[in-house]
Amino acid sequence: MLILGIESATAQVGCAVGGHEGVLASCHTSKGRRHAENLAPQIDFVRRQARIELEEISVVAIDLGPGLFTGLRVGIATAMAMAHALNVPMIGVSSLDLVAFPVRFTSRLIVAVLDARRGEVFSACYRHVPGGVQRITEPQVITPEDLAGELQATGEDVLLVGDGALRYADLFADLKGVDMADHGLAHPSASSLVQLAHAQALREEWVQPWELQPMYLRKPDAEINWIRRDS
């Protein structure tokens, strides 16, 4: 079983191919936020490096977000079209799960924090469990100040990971018992996506392309204003 993983929820865009033998090839670009320009050539490149034909792919995995809307949609639109054209199912994984996964070997509380712009972050908490991480809080949009307050209140040793944690590092740096994963782990990786999706694919936990739901977490501004006007 071969899985193509696509992720584009942050300033980085990437893809990877893998399966039973692990990740065969992967590619990431994080300069210029040219997701739409970079993604299709990346997929072609990764496929060649892995020495496979696209027809051999049996599942398309996608980072569902939360993340930066426009970039996120480039990945989702690409992945849905690929799955549709290949006539294969899809597996969606949250971007927060993807940044928490690589730092799983810790007894600390793992807090994934991705930059949501406009002075907010997307965040969720995780614990190490055999084979991966388990999400123990619902993904949320929160100001970094409020998040810092929440972390302080837990009194636990915390490991922060993600570009949002780095962007607001000053707010978290002085908190007691808080440590921060470095730059190389700050973005969701397509390799992690392939690994996580592989486990789900073995359990046949997939959806059809038209059933996939992006995780935006934030309503469009116009809708927010409309709701405010109504209330």
Partner 1 sequence: MTDFNQILGIETSCDETAAAVVVAAQTVRSSVVSSQIELHARYGGVVPEIASRAHVELLTPVVAQAIVEAGIENADVDAVAATYGPGLVGSLLVGVSAAKALALVWDVPFVGVNHLEAHLYASFLEEPTLELPLMVLLVSGGHTMLVNMKGHGDYEIIGSTLDDAAGEAYDKVARYLGLGYPGGPILDELSLQGDPTAIAFPRAMKNDGYDFSFSGLKTSVVNHVRKNPDVEAADVAASFQEAVADVLVTKARRAAREYGSKGICIGGGVAANSRLREAVLDACVADDLQAFLPSRSMCTDNAAMVAAAGWHRLHSDGPSRIDLGANPSLSL
User: Which residues in this chain contact partner 1 in the complex, by CB under 8 A?
Assistant: 34, 36-41, 43-44, 54-55, 69-70, 73-82, 84-87, 209-210, 214, 216, 220-223, 226
CB-nearer residue toward partner 1: 145 or 223: 223
CB-nearer residue toward partner 1: 23 or 39: 39
Using CB atoms within 10 Å of the CB of residue 9, give its burial: 0 to 12 exposed, 13 to 18 middle, 19+ buried: buried
CB-nearer residue toward partner 1: 6 or 100: 6
CB-nearer residue toward partner 1: 22 or 220: 220
Nearest-CA neighbor of 34 among 15, 16, 13?
Answer: 13
CA separation for the pair 224, 218 (Å, rounded): 9
The CB-of-95 to partner 1 minimum distance in angstroms stands at: 16
The CB-of-207 to partner 1 minimum distance in angstroms stands at: 12
Residue type present at position 48: R
With contact defined as beta carbons under 8 Å apart, do 118 and 109 qualify? no
CB-nearer residue toward partner 1: 86 or 175: 86
The CB-of-194 to partner 1 minimum distance in angstroms stands at: 18
CA separation for the pair 43, 38 (Å, rounded): 9
109 alpha carbon, distance to own chain's centre: 18
Nearest-CA neighbor of 96 among 64, 70, 120, 73?
Answer: 64
The CB-of-221 to partner 1 minimum distance in angstroms stands at: 7
The CB-of-114 to partner 1 minimum distance in angstroms stands at: 19
The CB-of-140 to partner 1 minimum distance in angstroms stands at: 20
With contact defined as beta carbons under 8 Å apart, do 72 and 9 qualify? yes
Q: Are strands 121-129 and 132-135 parallel, antiparallel or unpaired?
A: antiparallel
CB-nearer residue toward partner 1: 22 or 32: 32
